[in-house]
Amino acid sequence: MAAKDRRRAERYPTASIPVQLSDVNGELIDLSLSGAAVIHRSPVKAGAAATLVFPSYGGIYIPCEVLRSIVQVRRNDKGSEYVFRSAISFLPLAPEQEQPLREFLGIQIARLEELRAAEAAAAAE
């Protein structure tokens, strides 16, 4: 089964959004209603329970599980560095926690869809 077939929700690439994966600082690089991908510099163990924290958005805390974490080389104008890319799946929430999370994710995904549409329109010109 292809990776895309396993996903429960469409993923949206994000601009680098600062997050924490439990106590590890990272950058959110894609987001869906069911999970996300995070780039970070410290290792995390696949299968581990974690919490994804959005500190700049009022401290939203999302319980999750690390599905996999692999080492990648990231190249930029300063050279190359080794980073970890972790795929995470959001865990079920209590009903009173789920609605604010869905609202937050909905806002983020709507912004990403607007950016995607604007980029497509600019490319078509």
Structure token digits, residue 41: 């510099």
> Which is more confidently placed, 30 or 98?
30
Q: Indicate whether 54 pLDDT > 70.
A: yes
Termini Cα distance of the chain = 37
pLDDT of res. 6: 53
Sorted by where each starts, the structural domains of the chain and their CATH numbers stand as: 3-124 (2.40.10.220)
| Main-chain phi, psi angles of 93, to 5 degrees | -115, 160
Measured CA to CA, the distance from residue 116 to residue 18 in angstroms comes to: 20
| Digit-coded pLDDT (tens) for 2-44 | 444 455 678 888 877 899 999 999 999 998 888 999 999 999 9
Q: Indicate whether 59 pLDDT > 50.
A: yes
